Amino acid sequence: MSYNSSFKYIKRSLPLFAVLVIMFAFTGILSPTFLKVENMMNIMLRLSPLLVASCGQTFVILLSGIDMSLGAVVSLTTSVIALGSIGSISSPILLVFLSFALGIGFGLLNGYFVYKGIAPIIMTIGTSVIAKGIALIIRPIPGGMVSLELAEFLGLEFGGIFSVPMIISFSFFLFLMWILHWTRFGRHLYATGANRDAAKRAGVEVKKTIILAYVISSISAVVCGLLVVGQIWSGDALIGEVYTMDSVTSVLVGGTTFTGGEGGLLGTFAGAFIISMLSNILNMLNVFSYFQYIIKGLILIVSIFISFRFFSRRRKVYE
Amino acid sequence: MRSILKNTILYFLLLGIIVVIGIISPQSVLPNQLMIVIAQSVPLILAAAGQSIVILVGGIDLSIYSVIMLTNVVSCSIIAGNPENNLTAIVVCLLLGVLVGLINGLGINYAGIPDFVMTLGMSVILQGIVYTYSKGSPIGSIRGFLATLSNGKLWSIPYSVIFVSVVVGLLMFMLYKTTFGKRLYATGGNAVASKISGVKVKLIRTTAYALCGLLTAMSGLMLSGFVRVASLGLGSDYVMNSIAATILGGAAFSGGLLRLENTVVGALLLGFLMNLLTILNVAQSGKYIMQGIVIVGIAYAYLIFRRSSNE
């Protein structure tokens, strides 16, 4: 990304950060406990896995794809990590490696067939069901115990304001930011997302780019799963489902569009922040939990409407 | 040769599954048993028909689960054990379905919100409404007409199968014989060309979503008739299964391709596949894996057929 376009991109993400600041100020005034350190730590705890998942989802959506299997891979990871309790595989490091291997496997599968031409939503729904099945075989009912060292490490807090999940998710975010905005692969990704044929003619290795994007998405699902393990200390074959939708929402709220090749990780960061603060804010304002669904759905639709109407460069062809 | 294979692969698969079922457990292929599996597939056939029509015009509807949940909870609470309230319940639920579909269609086509986001958002909103309305513990039960429709039989054919045949027949007539149907295909095939040719593309797409809402509401009512009580998890697999049935039926995701009878066979195929796995004593986890493999495999097979017929 050139300096000029990255400047434009940062400028385009500014309204989102303005929304974020307004949300902070508004809730801070209405509910004095909101700005306390404990509550901020709560928000960070909720943000960390979502941020990681959303970053991965961004890569795929930039290719006008979607990864519906993300949540299932999150669940699969928690199930695999919790295998330790059965005693079949005791080393937590081995289990972490196994999760990554499974995740990368699903990423390769998604990427390869999407490159071959299966609609991303079909392909990833298919693999999500497969991953769900495998997770349910490993862990038919939620439970199991995670190796204590690993769980404690993943939930470690220090200095009053820092925690391991926060550090992992933020460094993951920065790492992907580097990949997307400062490497050749990142430029190829934007090119492929904007116009696949043109990119191919310009010498972009489209196949490699697409497959790698889906692998990154699956890897981030595995990392997200590890962070979830740090919170629940056990395995659950269904716990990750929510991250599919929430990650897509964060990415879209963050201004990346389904048309492909437009958007980026800075917006996703703001989007994930907004989504993970939303429940907290609604709780702080004493909104009935069932009613929160309605508000969340409305915010999803309205925010996408606004970002499409006012911030998108491209319009649908038939309009 | 390949095109013949492409058009008949689905029927062979269905036949194959039934033959396998017959080999493993001969009493499961008696007409009565087969009829039970078909009757169980009726709600899915209705939902899949709706999904197919939306996919035909190049969209997708992810709110199917929530619409089914909504009709289930609303119909149960209206009927509440009193058979006389059936008509009110059916009218209210069908109207709700159309309304949801209409809002989806309007949001997607006139406000320019991507179909995926609009229907997903709608799904979350509806869940919120259902939870708020039922306060988390839905009440009521179904008696009378709906229960009879879902469970009763005329000689040995279930009413539900007769009903779904009529609905599918009407839909096929609409799709293949009427101007509206032609416009649906035109819109899905090439929206820009259709628009230039004078087709009101946005209106057609919106109608498709409303139609999907109506069919989903029917599906929800049939399902409620089967279970006869209100349940918040009802229909949770229907979004995925309706998409799967459509894909099995060979409709492309880019729109413009649909044989509704193939979608129906796709839904039946899923029904019989689950039946087979149940007979084989496969756990839910194994069913999921099998289903995923079938979805991916069929999608890939059609892709190869389509590519080779283009060449």
Find where tokens 């009512």 sit.
B221
Write out chain A residues lying below 8 Å of B295, CB-based.
122, 125-126, 129
Per-residue pLDDT of chain B in tens (311 residues, 90 and over written 9): 566 666 677 888 888 888 888 888 888 778 888 888 888 899 999 999 999 999 888 888 889 999 999 999 998 888 887 888 888 889 999 999 999 999 999 988 888 788 888 888 898 899 889 988 888 778 878 787 877 777 878 787 888 888 999 999 999 999 889 988 888 888 888 888 888 888 888 899 999 999 999 999 999 999 988 888 888 888 778 888 888 888 888 776 666 677 888 889 889 988 888 888 888 888 888 888 988 888 888 888 878 877 776 65
User: Measured between alpha carbons, how far is A49 from A28 in angstroms, rounded to an integer?
Assistant: 24
Judge whether residue A172 has pLDDT over 90: yes
User: What confidence score (pLDDT) does residue B93 get?
Assistant: 92
Write out chain B residues lying below 8 Å of A305, CB-based.
107, 111-113
User: What confidence score (pLDDT) does residue A37 get?
Assistant: 80
User: Measured between alpha carbons, how far is B227 from B73 in angstroms, rounded to an integer?
Assistant: 12
User: What confidence score (pLDDT) does residue A121 get?
Assistant: 84
User: What confidence score (pLDDT) does residue A315 get?
Assistant: 46
User: What confidence score (pLDDT) does residue A317 get?
Assistant: 38
Long-range contacts of residues A20-29, Cβ cutoff 8 Å, at least 24 apart: A20/A270, A20/A273, A20/A274, A20/A277, A23/A274, A23/A277, A23/A281, A24/A277, A27/A281, A27/A284, A27/A285
- Give the residue among A21, A55, A12, A17 at the shortest CA–CA distance from A265: A55
Task: Inform me whether the C-beta atom of residue A242 falls under 8 Å from chain B C-beta atoms.
Answer: no
User: Measured between alpha carbons, how far is A42 from A20 in angstroms, rounded to an integer?
Assistant: 17
pLDDT digits (tens, 9 = 90+) for A277-317: 887 888 777 777 788 888 888 887 887 777 666 665 554 43
Q: Do B113 and A132 touch (CB under 8 A)?
A: no
For residue B143, give how far its alpha carbon lies from the nearest alpha carbon of chain A (Å). Answer: 29
User: Measured between alpha carbons, how far is B156 from A264 in angstroms, rounded to an integer?
Assistant: 60
Phi first, then psi: give them for residue B110, nearest 5 degrees: -100, -30
Q: Do B124 and A248 touch (CB under 8 A)?
A: no
Q: How many residues does chain B have?
A: 311
Positive or negative, the CA dihedral B121, B122, B123, B129 is: positive
User: What confidence score (pLDDT) does residue B208 get?
Assistant: 93
Token pair belonging to A318: 């038939």
pLDDT digits (tens, 9 = 90+) for A116-125: 888 888 899 8
User: Measured between alpha carbons, how far is B159 from B259 in angstroms, rounded to an integer?
Assistant: 24
For residue B284, give how far its alpha carbon lies from the nearest alpha carbon of chain A (Å). Answer: 7
Task: Inform me whether the C-beta atom of residue B246 falls under 8 Å from chain A C-beta atoms.
Answer: no
User: What confidence score (pLDDT) does residue B31 get?
Assistant: 81
Residues 53-72 of A with CB under 8 A from B: 66
- As a three-state string, the secondary structure of B96-118 is HHHHHHHHHHHHHHCCCCCHHHH
pLDDT digits (tens, 9 = 90+) for A197-227: 888 898 889 999 999 999 999 999 999 999 9
- For helices A164-182 and A37-61, give the axis angle rounded to 10 degrees: 30
Find where tokens 């993951």 sit.
A172
User: What confidence score (pLDDT) does residue A319 get?
Assistant: 37
- If residue B153 lies in a helix (H) or strand (E), which one and from where to where? strand B153-154
Best interface-test mutation with A: which of B289, B305, B308, B309 has the largest number of A CBs within 10 A?
B289
- Which chain B residue shows the shortest CA-CA distance from A295? B125
Long-range contacts of residues A187-192, Cβ cutoff 8 Å, at least 24 apart: A187/A1, A189/A59, A189/A62, A189/A63, A189/A213, A190/A1, A190/A62, A190/A261, A191/A261, A192/A63, A192/A261
Task: Inform me whether the C-beta atom of residue B285 falls under 8 Å from chain A C-beta atoms.
Answer: yes
Domain segments of chain B as ranges: 2-310
Phi first, then psi: give them for residue B113, nearest 5 degrees: -80, 135
First to last CA, chain A: 30
For residue B156, give how far its alpha carbon lies from the nearest alpha carbon of chain A (Å). Answer: 36
Cβ A164 vs Cβ A41: under 8 Å: no
User: What confidence score (pLDDT) does residue A5 get?
Assistant: 58
User: Measured between alpha carbons, how far is B5 from A109 in angstroms, rounded to an integer?
Assistant: 26
H helices present in chain A, as ranges? 3-30, 37-61, 70-81, 92-116, 120-138, 148-154, 164-182, 184-194, 196-201, 206-232, 241-253, 265-284, 289-311
Judge whether residue A246 has pLDDT over 70: yes
How many cross-chain Cβ pairs, A to B, lie less than 8 Å apart? 148
CATH for B2-310, options being 1.10.10, 1.10.8, 1.10.4160, 1.10.3470: 1.10.3470
User: Measured between alpha carbons, how far is A169 from A315 in angstroms, rounded to an integer?
Assistant: 34
User: What confidence score (pLDDT) does residue A138 get?
Assistant: 87
User: Measured between alpha carbons, how far is A99 from A229 in angstroms, rounded to an integer?
Assistant: 12
pLDDT digits (tens, 9 = 90+) for B259-311: 888 889 889 988 888 888 888 888 888 888 988 888 888 888 878 877 776 65
Q: Do A290 and B135 touch (CB under 8 A)?
A: yes
Task: Among A5-14, A127-136, B25-34, B297-306, name the one with the lowest average pLDDT.
Answer: A5-14
User: What confidence score (pLDDT) does residue A92 get?
Assistant: 81
- Give the residue among B104, B131, B129 at the shortest CA–CA distance from B119: B104
Report for A98-107, A155-164, B115-124, B147-156: range of highest mean pLDDT: A98-107
Mean predicted confidence (pLDDT) in A148-176: 84
Mean predicted confidence (pLDDT) in A121-137: 90
Phi first, then psi: give them for residue A143, nearest 5 degrees: 150, -150
User: What confidence score (pLDDT) does residue A318 get?
Assistant: 36
Distance of CA B29 to the CA centre of its chain: 25
- If residue B212 lies in a helix (H) or strand (E), which one and from where to where? helix B201-227
> What are the distances in angstroms from CA A264 to CA A64, A175, B210, B248, B307?
13, 13, 35, 35, 33
